[in-house]
Chain A
Amino acid sequence: MKKTNVMEQKNVTGKLRTNVRSPLRYSIGFRFIGFVMLAVAIAGAGVSLVVLSTSREHLRQQALNDNLNQANLAAAFASNYIEVIEAHVEVFARRPDVRQGVLNGTLEELQTTLAQFVQIQAPLNGVGVYDTNGIQLTYSLANSATIGQSFSDRNWFQGVMATGKSYLGIPILSKANNIPVETYAVPILDEQGQIRAVLSAGISLQKLSDALVNIGFTSDTEGRLVDLRDGGLIIADKDPLLLLTQVTGNNQAISSLMAGNSGSLEITDSAGKQVLTGFSPVAGLPWGIIVVTPSNTALAIINTLTQRASIYAGLIVILSGIFGVFLVLGIIRPLSRLVQDTREIGNGNMDVKLGPMGKDEIGNLSRSFGEMVVKLKTTMVSRDDLIKEVAERKQAEEALIASEARYRRFFEAARDGILILDVETGTVVDVNPFMVELLGFSREEFLNKKIWELGFFKDIIANQNHFEELKRNKYVTYENMPLETASGQRIQVEFVSYCYEVGNHQVIQCNIRNITERKRLEREKEKFTQELAEKNTELERFTYTVSHDLKSPLVTVKTFLGYLKHDIAAADPPLIEKDMFFMNSAADKMGKLLEELLEMSRVGRIANLPVKVTFDELVEDTLSITAGRIEEKGVQVRLHKEPVTLFGDRTRLVEIWQNLVENAVKFMGDQPAPQIDIGVEWRENGTVFFVRDNGIGIEPRYQSKLFNLFEKINPKTEGTGMGLAITKRIVELYQGKIWVESKGPGEGTCFFFTLPGALKDKESGV
Chain B
Amino acid sequence: MKGEAIVILVVEDDPAHVEIIRRNFEASRLANRLISVEDGQAALDYLNRKGQYNDETKFPMPNLILLDLRLPKVDGLEVLRIIKLDPAVNKIPVVILTTSAAEADMVKAYEHHANSFLIKPVDFSQFSKLMDTFGYYWVAWNQYPHEA
Does A688 make an interface contact (CB < 8 A)? no
Does A552 make an interface contact (CB < 8 A)? yes
Q: Annotate B1-27 by CB proximity to A: 1 below 8 A, 0 otherwise.
A: 000000000000111110110010000
Partner pick for B70 among A540, A549, A553, A714, CB 8 A cutoff: A549
B20 touches A548 (CB 8 A): no
B99 touches A562 (CB 8 A): no
Q: Min CB distance, B36 to chain A, in Å?
A: 12
A582 touches B124 (CB 8 A): no
Q: A713-B72, A715-B39 are in contact. Are A582 and B19 (CB under 8 A)?
A: yes
Contacts of A713 in B (CB 8 A): 72-73
A562 touches B23 (CB 8 A): no
- Chain A residue nearest to B128 in the complex (CB): A562
Contacts of A548 in B (CB 8 A): 69-70, 98-100, 102
B102 touches A544 (CB 8 A): yes
A712 touches B72 (CB 8 A): yes
A551 touches B124 (CB 8 A): no
Q: Min CB distance, A663 to chain B, in Å?
A: 16
18 contacts between A and B (CB under 8 A): A544-B100, A548-B69, A548-B70, A548-B100, A552-B14, A552-B120, A555-B17, A555-B121, A556-B14, A556-B17, A559-B124, A562-B125, A562-B127, A578-B19, A582-B15, A582-B16, A586-B16, A715-B72
Does A563 make an interface contact (CB < 8 A)? yes
Contacts of A551 in B (CB 8 A): 99-100, 120, 122
Q: A552-B14, A556-B17, A582-B16 are in contact. Are A561 and B99 (CB under 8 A)?
A: no
Tally A-B pairs: CB < 8 A: 76
B99 touches A714 (CB 8 A): no
Q: A562-B128, A712-B72, A715-B39 are in contact. Are A547 and B100 (CB under 8 A)?
A: yes
Does A554 make an interface contact (CB < 8 A)? yes
Q: Min CB distance, A749 to chain B, in Å?
A: 16
A563 touches B23 (CB 8 A): yes
Does B38 make an interface contact (CB < 8 A)? yes
Q: Annotate A553-587 by CB proximity to B: 1 below 8 A, 0 otherwise.
A: 11110111111000000000000001000100110
Residues facing B in A670-713 (CB within 8 A) are 702, 705, 711-713
Q: Annotate B71-100 by CB proximity to A: 1 below 8 A, 0 otherwise.
A: 011010000000000000000000000111
Q: A547-B100, A556-B16 are in contact. Are A563 and B72 (CB under 8 A)?
A: no
Does A545 make an interface contact (CB < 8 A)? yes
Does B147 make an interface contact (CB < 8 A)? no
Q: Complex Cα distance A681/B35, Å? A: 49
Q: Min CB distance, A714 to chain B, in Å?
A: 6
- Chain B residue nearest to A544 in the complex (CB): B102
Interface size class of A (residues with CB under 8 A): 20 to 34
Contacts of B38 in A (CB 8 A): 715-716
Contacts of A545 in B (CB 8 A): 70
Q: Complex Cα distance A206/B1, Å? A: 160
A560 touches B16 (CB 8 A): yes
Q: Complex Cα distance A372/B99, Å? A: 114
Partner pick for B122 among A544, A554, A585, A716, CB 8 A cutoff: A554
Q: Min CB distance, B20 to chain A, in Å?
A: 5
A585 touches B16 (CB 8 A): yes
Q: Annotate B28-43 by CB proximity to A: 1 below 8 A, 0 otherwise.
A: 0000000000110000
A559 touches B99 (CB 8 A): no
Q: Min CB distance, A585 to chain B, in Å?
A: 7
Q: Complex Cα distance A561/B127, Å? A: 12
Contacts of B73 in A (CB 8 A): 702, 705, 713-714
Q: Min CB distance, B44 to chain A, in Å?
A: 11
Contacts of B39 in A (CB 8 A): 714-715
Contacts of A585 in B (CB 8 A): 16
Does B123 make an interface contact (CB < 8 A)? yes
A562 touches B124 (CB 8 A): yes
| Additional pairs, 19, CB under 8 Å, beyond known A552-B17, A585-B16 | A544-B104, A547-B100, A548-B69, A548-B98, A548-B99, A551-B99, A551-B120, A552-B99, A552-B120, A556-B17, A558-B122, A558-B124, A559-B20, A563-B23, A705-B75, A712-B72, A714-B72, A715-B13, A715-B39
Most buried by A among B16, B19, B23, B102: B16
- Chain A residue nearest to B123 in the complex (CB): A558
Residues facing B in A369-390 (CB within 8 A) are none
Contacts of A556 in B (CB 8 A): 14, 16-17, 20
